[in-house]
Amino acid sequence: MGFVRSLCSFIVFLSSLIVVYGQGTRIGFYSTTCPNAEAIVRTTVTSHFGSDPKIAPGLLRMHFHDCFVQGCDGSVLISGPNTERTAGANFNLRGFEVIEDAKRQLEAACPGVVSCADILTLAARDSVALTKGQSWQVPTGRRDGRVSLAANVNNLPSPSDSVAIQQRKFAAFRLNTRDLVAVVGGHTIGTAACGFFTNRIFNSTGNTADPTMDQTFVPLLQRLCPQNGDGSNRVDLDAGSGNTFDTSFFNNLSRGRGILQSDHVLWTNPTTRRIVQEFMASRGNFNAQFASSMIKMSNIGVKTGANGEIRKVCTAVN
């Protein structure tokens, strides 16, 4: 019986590793086949970041959108009619040129070795580090998917989602509430188009629609996002610190300065508020949880071994 219990415990342990690291991914996957792979990606991202710092949140968001649709297989990178890139939720994704640049360099150094899915995962990590966040080791070994359909883009969180809906969408990928709050904390960098939240700052008479927002903050948003505008203007999701990966996003939530409704409710919900308060109090706790949650997220539905392919270019299947 003791042996059986030990065997069962070992199986549970292995199962937990599969959930966290994916089947077949591991740290240092390219150490012998393409030893400079991570350095090439990092240098490429750094170069583009130097010209346009907004590329960092773009790459982080793109990685999230890739993983939540058919897993982290680089399918969001494929271009063409009716691909994921054409779905409404992906209209404003940016950073494709960074991934293509890195892919060209990797194909020159190590032809047919490094997947586009891994490039995107590494680029997201490097984007956080470049904005003064904590880096982490990325398990690699993903292969690229061959299917990209706009019709499959149906499980991405929406700016109007309640905590319950967000929890359900994350739980579908074995991500818990701490993962949810940490990943949403990635909004400490980046912007949102006015059209996603003007319903919170204007009602039919032009006055504030959401009294739970900081009323001293609303006039600033109204100037940046005029009611008669087309909604395309963009504002920082983390007011006052939109280019630095820190905990001020959570401080803003506590002050009623969450821009998106889906962010704001993380403070009004008692369960998520406790996690927000923890991250507010300790940047170290937030950084550690973010890294852990990103590792879990980046191994959703990964393709390894004989599944998928290594694309020659990231915008098209072989």
Q: Is 188 labelled as part of a ligand binding site?
A: yes
102, 39 contact by CB (below 8 A): no
210 is in an annotated binding site: no
Residue 69 is assigned to a ligand binding site: yes
Residue closest to 202 by CA, chosen among 227, 234, 224: 227
Q: Is 230 annotated as a binding residue?
A: no
Residue 183 CB neighbour total at 10 angstroms: 22
Cα separation values, 210 from 160, 202, 249, Å: 13, 8, 19
Annotated binding residue 35: no
238 is in an annotated binding site: yes
**81 a known binding residue?**
no
Say which amino acid occupies 157. Answer: P
Find out whether 277 and 178 touch, Cβ atoms under 8 Å: no
Determine whether the annotation assigns residue 205 to a binding site. no
3-state secondary structure labels for all residues of 75-119: HHHCCCCCCHHHCHHHCCCCCHHHHHHHHHHHHHHCCCCCCHHHH
The answer to whether 187 is annotated as binding is yes
Q: Closest Cα to residue 99, out of 131, 128, 129, 62?
A: 62
Say if residue 37 is exposed, middle or buried (CB neighbours under 10 Å; 0-12, 13-18, 19+): buried
Instruction: State yes or no: 293 annotated in a binding site.
Output: no
Q: Which residues does the annotation mark as catalytic?
A: 65
Q: Is 38 annotated as a binding residue?
A: no
Backbone angles phi, psi at 303, to 5 degrees: -105, 130
Q: Which of 237, 239, 240, 250 is nearest to 289 (CA)?
A: 250
Please give the annotated binding residues for Ca(2+), written as ranges: 66, 69, 71, 73, 75, 84, 188, 238, 246
Please give the annotated binding residues for heme b, written as ranges: 187
Please give the annotated binding residues, written as ranges: 66, 69, 71, 73, 75, 84, 157, 187-188, 238, 246
Please give the annotated binding residues for substrate, written as ranges: 157
